[in-house]
Amino acid sequence: MQALSQILPPLLPKMFEAADAIGTLHFARFVVLGDTTLAFVSEYDGTFDDYIMDFAKFLGPVFDAIFEHVNNPPPTPVAKNADALLEWTKRNNLDPLAFYSAYPSMTVQDIKTQAVAA
Amino acid sequence: MEALNLEDIQGFVLRQYLFPVLRHFLLKVGDPAAARAMIGRLVSGDENDAPQISTAEEAPPGTTYHLHLGITYAGLVALQVKEKLPNLAFKSFAAFVEGAAPRAARVGDVGRHAPENWVGGFSTGNAHILLTLYAARADILDDYTTHLTKLFANTKAFEELWHGDGAALTEVVNGQPVPVPKVHFGYTDGISQVSIKGGPEPALPDHQQPCEPWLFVLSDDAENYYLPDPPELSRNGSFGVFKLIQQDVVGFENFLQSQKDKIDPELLAAKLMGRWRNGTPLMLSPETDSPRDGIKFDQMNDFGYVNADGSGDPRGLRCPIGAHIRRVNPRDQPVTGQGRPGGSNNSHRLVRRGMPYGPTYVPGQPDDGIERGLLGYFICSNIENQYEFVLKQWVNDGEFVGAVRMNPKCKDAIIGNNDPAESIFEIRQQDHPDPIKITGIPDFLTTKAAAYCFLPSISALKFIANLK
């Protein structure tokens, strides 16, 4: 986990750029849950599946670096294994007990529009 | 990066033919061994034995036809390719394996567009091979048709399920009909084509980076997939989505006229498309289709929507955000699935090879009841991420773009699966705070058939022919 907390910060600017490019991601963060557990928590619009190729392409290098430190990772490079990443993600996904949104009908693109107009 | 192997790639992937007529044949495999042998004869190099499939090399002068061949996944099974190649796997290409019919709803083909209403056996498991024959003249088309039909019947290789003819629309010049690059609804087509790095036909300048070849030709260099197994079968191949689309030309003209109290019908036609019907882009000439200084043909595609600094037309005052050409190729417009302002490319592009069917319709003429439409062929390396993505996210959705909030019900007015009860198209104006709201837009198209085809390389067709 110590290795990960060192490699992650320099990768983040690239990750933010990638998230901007995909344009469906509201929030994302990495949270250390213990010596051997890292959580990736994100909120995004629509289905993950339709954008999987974009996620894999834009975020591929970031996830490749992370997966070097993960047990039983999906095959890398993830850019070329988009469907395996999708399958692995679904298998390891944890559903929340409850989820609240203050603006359930607003997409990232809608909110960016409002921000531009303001 | 390896250079494109033009002699191995099917010609129409990389080249746009100017021939005025074509015929598509949907074939069912008869005797599998005979069918594989027949495929071999189409790539043997022996013109006297059988018509030959065209490569992407420059055609010799005097070439009068081009032949192309696509195989569905059901076709690979029927040809016993799957049985003879135990390692056959299109692992990252689930859409191709599943086929067009089960996935129709994803691209909006429901209701009257649904597979149960498709013609010619396209929705059955018997849609195996799609053969496409282009010719310089109608009599040449018939001659090669006769030759092919005889070969197929004599060898019991294939059984024809359906064929469909396309022909360039015409305009009368000096009393003679001459072919024009137009499609039904009256728009000049084919101006915007994908520019492929190392491709044999540079496209018109378009403010976009050329695409990587692996986006259209399966390659070891690809960034986002591995070649399907075995590579002898997949390398230098492509995927093609064939689509038979009926167009309601009378309905389209009537709809334009029905809005004339709100907006001039020709301006409405331009706003819906993003180009005037003569091809002049709104981004270069928002007020008229005939700007005083003129626009040279090679400038007709030389524009973007949003510059890196956010300037340009981010709010769609010139060209509406929801206009057809701004949806299917957003260029430098930031949208979901593609970059930031000024970003110039994306991985969702398609090579378009379409031909109209049915005679030219002259607006204002009464409805002659003749069916018209488009025989579309959309070529890519990943059907999910290119063809299906564009239709689902950008054509049939109103929330893919951030600069302006479109009505969530707003779909592509030309090709979207619009429901007149809720459809809406907003035209923003420079000099007025409120947009012109066009409502009640019907769905002008009907999907009559579709097929997800693999377009093998020449060497892959020989490989199939030689399977024992």
Residue B238 included in any domain = yes
Q: How many domains does chain B have?
A: 1
Residue A18: predicted pLDDT: 81
For Cα atoms B47, B49, B55, give the angle at the middle one, nearest 5 degrees: 40
Q: Select the residue of A54, A83, A112 nearest B337 (Cβ to Cβ).
A: A54
Residues of A in contact with B405 (CB under 8 A): 109-110, 113-114
Nearest CA in chain B to A54: B337
Nearest to B430 by CA among B264, B269, B319, B329: B319
Using the predicted structure, report yes or no on whether residue B459 has a pLDDT greater than 70: yes
Q: Are B168 and B20 in contact (CB under 8 A)?
A: yes
Q: How would residue B316 be classed by pLDDT, with cut points 50, 70 and 90?
A: very high
**Which residues in chain B have their CB less than 8 angstroms from residue A107's CB?**
399
Note whether residue B33 is domain-resident: yes
The single-letter DSSP state of residue B367 is: P
Question: How are the residues of chain A apportioned to helix, strand and coil, as percentages rounded to the nearest 5?
Answer: 55, 15, 35
Find, among B357, B96, B117, the residue nearest to B247 by Cα: B357
Nearest by CB to B224, from A22, A79, A107: name it. Answer: A79
Query: With pLDDT > 90 as the criterion, what percentage of chain B qualifies?
Result: 86
Mark yes or no for CB contact A116/B402 under 8 Å.
Answer: yes
Residue B69 lies inside a defined structural domain of this protein: yes
Q: Which chain B residues touch A if contact means CB-CB below 8 Å?
A: 91-92, 94, 222-226, 314, 334-340, 343, 347, 382, 384-385, 389, 392-393, 399-405, 408
- The pLDDT assigned to B1 comes to 58
**In which domain, by residue range, is B101 found?**
11-245+450-465
Using CA atoms, how far residue B183 sits from B187, B247, B326, in Å, is: 6, 10, 18
Give the three-class secondary structure for A105. Answer: coil
3-state helix, strand, coil in chain B (%, to 5): 25, 25, 55
Omega before residue A77 within 30° of 0, cis? yes
User: pLDDT category, B437, cuts 50, 70, 90?
Assistant: very high
Is residue B324 in a domain?
Answer: no
* Continuous segment of H or E residues that includes residue B151: helix B138-155
- Candidate from B334, B393, B404 with C-beta closest to A50: B393
Q: What is the pLDDT of residues A39-53, one digit of tens each?
A: 989 898 887 788 888
| pLDDT over 60 (residue B286) | yes
Query: Pick from B25, B21, B26, B24: which is nearest to B65 by CA?
Result: B21
CB of B240 closer than 8 Å to CB of B377: yes
Inter-residue contact B403 to B306 (CB < 8 Å): yes
Phi, psi dihedrals of residue B29, rounded to the nearest 5°: -65, 130
Of residues A21 and B121, more confidently modeled: B121
What are the two backbone dihedrals, phi and then psi, of residue B131, each rounded to the nearest 5 degrees?
-105, 135
Task: Indicate whether B373 pLDDT > 60.
Answer: yes
Peptide bond between residue B202 and the one before it cis (omega within 30 degrees of 0): no
The angle formed by the CA atoms of residues A70, A72 and A73, to the nearest 5 degrees, is: 65
Q: By CB neighbour count within 10 A (0-12 exposed, 13-18 middle, 19+ buried), where does A102 fall?
A: exposed
Q: How far is A33 from chain B (nearest CA, A)?
A: 31
Q: What is the pLDDT of residues B326-335, one digit of tens each?
A: 999 999 888 8
Is B336–A109 a contact, with Cβ atoms under 8 angstroms apart? yes
As a whole number, mean pLDDT of residues B69-91 equals 97
pLDDT tier, A68 (very low <50, low <70, confident <90, very high otherwise): very high
pLDDT of A53 reads 83
State the pLDDT at residue B81: 98
Q: Name the closest residue on chain B to residue A48, using Cα atoms.
A: B337
Question: Residue B340's pLDDT is what?
Answer: 62
- Answer left, alpha or beta for residue B228, where phi above 0 means left and psi between -120 and 50 means alpha: beta
Residues of A whose CB is below 8 A from B335: 23, 109
Q: Is residue B90 part of a domain?
A: yes
CA proximity to B357, closest of B342, B374, B344, B341: B374
Indicate the residue of B314, B339, B385 with minimum beta-carbon distance to A53: B385
Record: contact A53-B400, CB cut-off 8 A: no
Asked if omega into B20 is within 30° of 0 (cis), the reply is no
The DSSP secondary structure of B265-298, one letter per residue, reads: HHHHHHHHHSB-TTS-BTTT-SS-SS-TT---GG
- Quote the mean pLDDT of chain B: 94
Question: What pLDDT score does B307 carry?
Answer: 85
Kindly determine whether residue A57 and residue B224, on different chains, have CB atoms separated by under 8 Å. Answer: yes
The proportion of chain B whose per-residue pLDDT surpasses 70, expressed as a percent, equals: 98
CB contact under 8 A, A109 and B385: no
User: Min CA distance, A78 vs chain B (Å)?
Assistant: 8
* Domain presence at residue B326: no
Q: How many beta-carbon contacts under 8 Å exist across A and B?
A: 74
A interface toward B at CB cutoff 8 Å?
20-24, 45-46, 50-51, 53-54, 56-57, 79-83, 105, 107-110, 112-114, 116
Quote the Cα angle for B17-B23-B27, to 5°: 125
B163 within domain boundaries: yes
Does this model's pTM top 0.90? My answer is yes
Q: How confident is the model at residue A97 (pLDDT cuts 50, 70, 90)?
A: very high
Q: Which of B211, B214, B224 to mutate to test the interface with A (most CBs of A within 10 A)?
A: B224
Question: In this predicted model, which residue has the larger pLDDT, B48 or B343?
Answer: B48
Strands (E), B17-157: 21-29, 65-71, 129-135
Q: B339, A21: Cβ pair inside 8 Å?
A: yes
Q: What is the mean pLDDT of residues A6-25?
A: 85
Which tokens go with B183? 């499609």
- Tell me whether residue B209 is in a domain: yes
- B339 pLDDT band, cuts 50/70/90, is low
A109 and B399 within 8 Å at the Cβ level: the answer is: yes
Question: Which tokens is B246 given?
Answer: 């009926």
Q: For A109, name the nearest residue in chain B, comparing CA atoms only.
A: B402
Instruction: Give the per-residue pLDDT at A4.
Output: 83
Q: Which of B137, B166, B162 is nearest to B355 (CA)?
A: B166
Percent residues over pLDDT 90 in chain A: 27
Least-confidence region, from A104-113, B109-118, B284-293, B449-458: A104-113
Mean pLDDT confidence for A15-27? 85
Note the pLDDT tens digit of each residue in B85-96.
Answer: 999 999 889 999
Mean pLDDT, residues B149-177: 96
